[in-house]
Amino acid sequence: MPDRYAYLGPEGTFTEAALRTLRPDVPDTARIPCEGVAAVFDAVRSGEVAGGVVPLENSVEGGVTSTIAELINGEPLVISGEIAVPVEFALFARPGTTLADVKTVATHPHALAQCRGWLGRHLPDAETTTVSSTAAAARSVAEPGTPYDAAICAVIAGERYGLHALATGVGDRADAATRFIYLSRPGRPSEPTGTDLTSVVAFIADDHPGALIEVLTQFAVRGVNLTRLESRPTGDGLGSYCFCIDAEGHVADARVGEALMGLRRVCRDVRFLGSYPRSGRATEVDPPLRPRPATEADYAASERWLARIRSGGID
Amino acid sequence: MPDRYAYLGPEGTFTEAALRTLRPDVPDTARIPCEGVAAVFDAVRSGEVAGGVVPLENSVEGGVTSTIAELINGEPLVISGEIAVPVEFALFARPGTTLADVKTVATHPHALAQCRGWLGRHLPDAETTTVSSTAAAARSVAEPGTPYDAAICAVIAGERYGLHALATGVGDRADAATRFIYLSRPGRPSEPTGTDLTSVVAFIADDHPGALIEVLTQFAVRGVNLTRLESRPTGDGLGSYCFCIDAEGHVADARVGEALMGLRRVCRDVRFLGSYPRSGRATEVDPPLRPRPATEADYAASERWLARIRSGGID
Amino acid sequence: MPDRYAYLGPEGTFTEAALRTLRPDVPDTARIPCEGVAAVFDAVRSGEVAGGVVPLENSVEGGVTSTIAELINGEPLVISGEIAVPVEFALFARPGTTLADVKTVATHPHALAQCRGWLGRHLPDAETTTVSSTAAAARSVAEPGTPYDAAICAVIAGERYGLHALATGVGDRADAATRFIYLSRPGRPSEPTGTDLTSVVAFIADDHPGALIEVLTQFAVRGVNLTRLESRPTGDGLGSYCFCIDAEGHVADARVGEALMGLRRVCRDVRFLGSYPRSGRATEVDPPLRPRPATEADYAASERWLARIRSGGID
Amino acid sequence: MPDRYAYLGPEGTFTEAALRTLRPDVPDTARIPCEGVAAVFDAVRSGEVAGGVVPLENSVEGGVTSTIAELINGEPLVISGEIAVPVEFALFARPGTTLADVKTVATHPHALAQCRGWLGRHLPDAETTTVSSTAAAARSVAEPGTPYDAAICAVIAGERYGLHALATGVGDRADAATRFIYLSRPGRPSEPTGTDLTSVVAFIADDHPGALIEVLTQFAVRGVNLTRLESRPTGDGLGSYCFCIDAEGHVADARVGEALMGLRRVCRDVRFLGSYPRSGRATEVDPPLRPRPATEADYAASERWLARIRSGGID
């Protein structure tokens, strides 16, 4: 039996699209949809599948809470690949339905948040319901006796469930994207490719601001750039955070190795999440907007701004 | 007509409990439940209500995406109070239902995530459905013809909708808490109380790691402690973040004022979200776990750890 | 009686040349040579003279100990001007003396250190004696019954005492320069010119390395560049230092004012030494040699270097 | 022939005392006085002697310029030992001379600077002359036909040249001390003792303040404490400095090794000057005076201080 690969289902999710791109060699029958992110992790952990794909972060909504929770707290898996997929939402309905007929729309909460503007303009009176995924919304709309008139979902989901598109490009941000990761059981990292990322979770020993500066300095002092820094609660009460960090380079690189050792010495704990080839997504399209040095006028401006906010004005 | 106050509804949410605690003087009829966080913001913005309460962050799930999005992007409101409320989940059903009868459970996605352990142990075969709030789940269970047998919700919600408790304390974390904020239209901040917090959103000019160190240094160099640092996508594509920062002190304090001016000079933009009295929640229950200085043995241990993760071992 | 001005004498010193350049309006009779740096300070302090000029630092030998000691410890004076003068040494003798006749050479210890190469090549067997200044050496050579055959001194000193030059350009460094400062009694600083320097002495509260980083950060965080950082013992035992700092900008500038306030808060003590126009000396002739980011090869090279020095090799 | 050891002469210097303490096993005949610091370095370099002792820094006057110049620029030698010697000055004269007879005093310039107070009180009218060392002053006073009535020198120097003490403890600072170093040709460093120092000279690539912070951070980030930081001109013009650094620990220690590698990567050049046992001198007699966190009152005080110095007041 060939290797099988899990993904966040049902069929037709953006995650399925990500798995297809990351592993074009996998035959259709070897892609296994799972219900919920935790189920994908568990399938990989148990050895039931050789690998799995889940969303990690979205350019509009931020980190995917359940994925990060599994990476941080669950039995360790490592990231061995990543890909960023543009997120294009469409409104799908059963054949015969027109836009004017749509009174109820189902979709995933994140998708709903990203399509609020379009809905407000085109379906101001429609009732919206959130379900577990955009593909689930599409599937539900296709079911007999469904309470929903239309679904906001990916094109592949709408097509898979025999719906037809009432509108495409209904997201408020044309450039929205989601980043997916490929999970494996721990093992020797793949060889460095020259453009790798290394992911870790740092549990700082002390929540004072100096502690985070100390953590960031471990990277900066060795010239290692970070591409993601995301705070997450550790679950141990309000005000207790850990930091999910993606750094440029591979654990086999001298500078990354030294930075990780330093990180481990200053942190309460560090969980290594893998080194893997960086996705070919367009990075640094725009040159970074370096702050020009502040001038005497900037000092005066910042003083006026302070006076304004101190007296209740709008900045 | 007396002032009215909006909160994230429906009736029976933890948010209603927070509003009752923050403003015990408000009569029952002046508390207005709104559907969705955005509706609370809009009610305050329009002047329809004098203030509003929404959840900001949860100790298990992290920041509340929709609240943060409204604070960052919408027409400016300011935070003029905060409170942390313990989150205690219970399983409620219609009178006559026993635990053995429960085949379907409705709740909010975050509540579901926080009760997974209990459900796995006591209702491993129950189907779960997520709805817009735990109070909505309770309300739905109480409706005739409901598809749900039980709801995971707050005790006040279960009671409000005439349900009875099948189990209490069903959350996996006994110490879970949610922090709520009180929103007002911009105006002169209240007087410093000596134990205040100041909230801002910093849009850094450049995403290199040095830039965040630079931002944090603006606070550290003036001895201003941070109590929250949360990265959020700006919506401008993957890899573009802003930082939600809560700092100890009041904008009227010299050090906070100077730090904010410095922040504004090094950032592309800064949004001031208000100075307000800190909630009396138990902070620093545990003394911070300061990292003892690393020893030669720590250096050797970190070198062995690196060798281990480089060769695929588990850290 | 017109104002008088003190300088480190005797007549013919580089310091006299500096005073002539800084104050070309002062008539010859109003320039008062003093014996020793302390005497110049005392003349200004007592009001006997309106101002005074002393050397502050030399590009080869470093800070002038006695000047720095008076600035740090004595009754406060402020710096209200500066000038850098190229230091060109010549060998002068009485008329009739040839190079071959020179058996004994008098000069100042710093001049001796800077002419060692030339002396080794041209007068390897000459005995050298150090006296209190190069001008004093010239004066001494001119005296009847002098034990010295020649003096290493400035051209103006040799000429003033009726000597003739046996050789010019006898310094080992063609680009040697000395920086002189103009001292006044404390008073309102002159108006900012746009290219000013501000001098302070920082007594750090704690000698751990973080303390100096903290001091430097007070400037860096406000974008204030330093042009000089010189450690000096405080006199309170080995290992106790203060730092003489020259920063770009004027105390009236917002950023300099804020940096000085921050400095004062983190230091045990700060002595303000004045804001004054920067001398027109050629600064930044060469663009700063920015360190290129370290490469993997640099990491390997530094590891080999460490192995080498650990085993006793020469770096 | 047994090994011989050079020191900064003539006989009777504090340096001789340091050599006696550092190497009590060396017979009297094997201690070779040299004229000048450079001569000691050259004797070690040439192999003429097995080792040499020179002063490095004085608690009142700061670094010894000529020693530092040889360490920085000359053919490399390494430091393999150090010792701090209390500096106690006495006034010595030929037998029969009384204090009232003293019209001329000879001594070394640094000694003169450190005895100015005593001389002002007890010999206000005496003329002072500076010579190459305090021992040379004593020797000169003992010579027939000497122009000097008395010498300020160490007790051992006065006794060696047959003088008698007119006064002891004539230094203005009772706790003055000088630190001497033992020089060897490069070779494998001695084994770590647990309380070692490591000395280096760092030539930073760029003189902006951030560059020095970067250098210090290489130590701080690895928890390596510095015990000395001294700026020195590189000789390449005003404003070009290198930094002489003494750090706690041995080059064989992991943290020191890693810090040195990091230093080498960020600097234009680094010269390793050796790892050696730390002298048993009383360090940290006083606990470091940690700056208490600045209060709102400190902010107000620093603002008043700034107003004061801006308007010409004395701080």
CA distance C299 to chain A (A): 6
Question: Are residues C218 and B221, on separate chains, in Cβ contact within 8 Å?
Answer: yes
Question: Are residues A254 and C303, on separate chains, in Cβ contact within 8 Å?
Answer: yes
Show the CA angle centred on residue A248, arms to residues A247 and A250, nearest 5°: 95
D143 by DSSP, 3-state: which?
coil
CA distance C3 to chain D (A): 21
B130 by DSSP, 3-state: which?
strand
Domain B188-288 in CATH 2.40.40.20? The answer is: no
- What was the pLDDT predicted at A211? 77
- What was the pLDDT predicted at C165? 96
Show the CA angle centred on residue A52, arms to residues A48 and A53, nearest 5°: 160
| Same fold yes or no, C90-168 and C188-289 | no
- What was the pLDDT predicted at B293? 60
> Strand pairing of D78-86 and D177-184?
antiparallel
**For every residue of chain C, which 3-state class applies, written as one string?**
CCCCEEEECCCCCHHHHHHHHHCCCCCHHHEEEECCHHHHHHHHHHCCCCEEEEEEEECCCEECHHHHHHHHHCCCCEEEEEEEEECCCEEEECCCCCHHHCCEEEECHHHHHHCHHHHHHHCCCCEEEECCCHHHHHHHHHCCCCCCCEEEECHHHHHHCCCEEEEECCCCCCCCEEEEEEEECCCCCCCCCCCEEEEEEEEECCCCHHHHHHHHHHHHCCCCCEEEEEEEECCCCCCCEEEEEEEECCCCCHHHHHHHHHHHHHEEEEEEEEEEECCCCCCCCCCCCCCCCCCHHHHHHHHHHHHHHHCCCCC
- What was the pLDDT predicted at A204? 84
CA distance D25 to chain A (A): 44
Quote the mean pLDDT of chain D. Answer: 87
Structural contact between residues D79 and D276, judged by C-beta atoms closer than 8 angstroms: yes
**For every residue of D203-214, which 3-state class applies, written as one string?**
EECCCCHHHHHH
Structural contact between residues D273 and D78, judged by C-beta atoms closer than 8 angstroms: yes
For the ranges B297-311, C88-102, D50-64, D213-227, the lowest mean pLDDT is seen at B297-311
D229 by DSSP, 3-state: which?
strand
How many angstroms separate the CA atoms of D84 and D178, rounded?
6
The tens digit of pLDDT for each residue in B83-123 reads 999 989 999 999 999 999 999 999 987 788 889 889 999 99
Question: Are residues A312 and B241, on separate chains, in Cβ contact within 8 Å?
Answer: no
Nearest to D296 among B254, B299, B300 (CB): B254
Distances (CA, A) of D104 to C141, D90, D145: 21, 15, 13
- What was the pLDDT predicted at D116? 85
| Cβ-Cβ contacts under 8 Å for C237 (sequence gap 6 or more) | D59, D175, D177, D285
Tell whether the model's pLDDT for residue C314 goes beyond 70: no
Q: In what order do the strands lie in the sheet with B150-153?
A: B127-130, B104-107, B150-153, B90-93, B164-168
Structure tokens at B51: 């203030």
List chain B residues with CB under 8 Å of D258: 299
Structural contact between residues D229 and D63, judged by C-beta atoms closer than 8 angstroms: no
- What was the pLDDT predicted at C245? 93
Q: What's the CATH number of domain C188-289, 3.40.920.10, 3.30.360.10, 3.30.70.260, 3.40.50.1100?
A: 3.30.70.260
CA distance B202 to chain C (A): 17
Tell whether the model's pLDDT for residue B247 goes beyond 80: yes
Q: A303 to chain C: nearest residue by CA?
A: C254
DSSP string, D245-279: EEEES-TTSHHHHHHHHHHHHHEEEEEEEEEEEPP
Question: Are residues B299 and D255, on separate chains, in Cβ contact within 8 Å?
Answer: yes
- What was the pLDDT predicted at A154? 92
Tell whether the model's pLDDT for residue A283 goes beyond 50: no
pLDDT band at B206 (very low <50, low <70, confident <90, very high): low
- What was the pLDDT predicted at A293? 60
Question: Are residues C205 and D290, on separate chains, in Cβ contact within 8 Å?
Answer: yes
- What was the pLDDT predicted at A292? 52
Question: Are residues B65 and A268, on separate chains, in Cβ contact within 8 Å?
Answer: no
Q: B201 to chain A: nearest residue by CA?
A: A315
- What was the pLDDT predicted at D207? 56
- What was the pLDDT predicted at D1? 58
How many angstroms separate the CA atoms of D159 and A192, rounded?
72
Nearest to C254 among A223, A258, A300 (CB): A300
Domain D90-168 sits in which CATH superfamily?
Answer: Periplasmic binding protein-like II (3.40.190.10)
Residues in a beta bridge with C105: C128, C150
The tens digit of pLDDT for each residue in B8-39 reads 988 989 999 999 999 999 999 999 999 889 99
Quote the mean pLDDT of chain A. Answer: 87
Question: Are residues C239 and D260, on separate chains, in Cβ contact within 8 Å?
Answer: no
Tell whether the model's pLDDT for residue C303 goes beyond 60: yes
pLDDT band at A60 (very low <50, low <70, confident <90, very high): confident
Of chain C, the percentage scoring pLDDT greater than 90 comes to: 52
List chain C residues with CB under 8 Å of A293: 223
- What was the pLDDT predicted at A27? 95
Average pLDDT over residues C4-8: 96
B288 has a chain A CB within 8 A of its CB: yes
- Conformation bin of residue A162: beta by default, left when phi > 0, alpha when psi is -120 to 50: left
Q: Which of residues 118-147 of C touch D (CB under 8 A)?
A: 130, 132
Show the CA angle centred on residue C8, arms to residues C6 and C13, nearest 5°: 120
CA distance D208 to chain C (A): 6
C299 has a chain A CB within 8 A of its CB: yes
B258 has a chain C CB within 8 A of its CB: yes
Domains of chain C, residue spans: 90-168, 188-289
Quote the mean pLDDT of chain B. Answer: 87
What is the value of ipTM here, to two decimals? 0.78
Average pLDDT over residues D254-270: 88
Nearest to A186 among B63, B228, B312 (CB): B312
List chain D residues with CB under 8 Å of A221: 214, 217-218, 221, 262
Nearest to C132 among D63, D130, D309 (CB): D130
B243 by DSSP, 3-state: which?
strand
The tens digit of pLDDT for each residue in A230-256 reads 888 887 777 778 899 999 999 989 889
Total beta-carbon pairs less than 8 A apart between chain A and chain C? 25
Structure tokens at C165: 């030059």
Question: Are residues A205 and B291, on separate chains, in Cβ contact within 8 Å?
Answer: yes
pLDDT band at B300 (very low <50, low <70, confident <90, very high): confident
Q: Which of residues 204-243 of B touch C (CB under 8 A)?
A: 214, 217-218, 221-222
Of residues B213 and D301, more confidence is placed in: B213
| Cβ-Cβ contacts under 8 Å for D257 (sequence gap 6 or more) | C306, C310, D251
Residues in a beta bridge with C180: C55, C83
Question: Are residues B213 and A217, on separate chains, in Cβ contact within 8 Å?
Answer: yes
CA distance A298 to chain C (A): 10
Domain A189-285 in CATH 3.40.50.620? The answer is: no
Helices D37-46 and D65-73: crossing angle, nearest 10°? Answer: 30
Chain C interface test: which of B221, B265, B306 (most C C-beta within 10 Å):
B221
Q: A302 to chain C: nearest residue by CA?
A: C254
Task: Identify the chains in contact with A, defined as 3+ C-beta pairs within 8 A.
Answer: B, C, D
CA distance B267 to chain A (A): 7
pLDDT band at B281 (very low <50, low <70, confident <90, very high): very low
- What was the pLDDT predicted at D131? 80
- What was the pLDDT predicted at A290? 39
D136 by DSSP, 3-state: which?
helix
Nearest to C306 among D130, D207, D257 (CB): D257
List chain B residues with CB under 8 Å of C218: 221
Residues in a beta bridge with B66: none
Structural contact between residues C104 and C126, judged by C-beta atoms closer than 8 angstroms: yes
Tell whether the model's pLDDT for residue C290 goes beyond 60: no
| Cβ neighbours, 10 Å, residue D310 | 18
CA distance C230 to chain A (A): 24
Considering only CA atoms, which of D102, D99, D120, D114 is closest in space to residue D169?
D114
DSSP string, chain A: ----EEEESSTT-HHHHHHHHH-TTS-GGGEEEESSHHHHHHHHHHTSSSEEEEEEEETTTEE-HHHHHHHHHSS--EEEEEEEEE---EEEE-TT--GGG--EEEE-HHHHHHTHHHHHHH-TT-EEEE-S-HHHHHHHHHSTT-S-SEEEE-HHHHHHTT-EEEEE--SS-TT-EEEEEEEE-S-PPPPP-SSEEEEEEEEES--SHHHHHHHHHHHHTTTPPEEEEEEEE-SSSTT-EEEEEEEES-TTSHHHHHHHHHHHHHEEEEEEEEEEEPP-----SSPP-PPPPPPHHHHHHHHHHHHHHHTT---
Average pLDDT over residues A219-239: 83
Question: Are residues B205 and A291, on separate chains, in Cβ contact within 8 Å?
Answer: yes
CA distance C32 to chain B (A): 47
Q: B297 to chain D: nearest residue by CA?
A: D254
Residues in a beta bridge with B267: B204
- What was the pLDDT predicted at B207? 57
Considering only CA atoms, which of D269, A265, A256, A219 is closest in space to residue C302?
D269
Tell whether the model's pLDDT for residue A286 goes beyond 60: no
How many angstroms separate the CA atoms of C254 and B262, rounded?
12
Question: Are residues B310 and A212, on separate chains, in Cβ contact within 8 Å?
Answer: no
pLDDT band at C1 (very low <50, low <70, confident <90, very high): low
- What was the pLDDT predicted at D184? 95
The tens digit of pLDDT for each residue in C230-262 reads 888 887 777 778 899 999 999 989 889 989 998
Nearest to B132 among A130, A236, A238 (CB): A130
How many angstroms separate the CA atoms of C108 and D152, rounded?
20
Task: Identify the chains in contact with B, defined as 3+ C-beta pairs within 8 A.
Answer: A, C, D
Question: Are residues A294 and B266, on separate chains, in Cβ contact within 8 Å?
Answer: yes
> Strand pairing of A150-153 and A104-107?
parallel
Nearest to C293 among A223, A253, A258 (CB): A223
List chain B residues with CB under 8 Å of A309: 251, 260, 272
The tens digit of pLDDT for each residue in D128-176 reads 887 878 899 999 999 999 999 999 999 989 999 999 999 999 998 888 8
Quote the mean pLDDT of chain C. Answer: 87
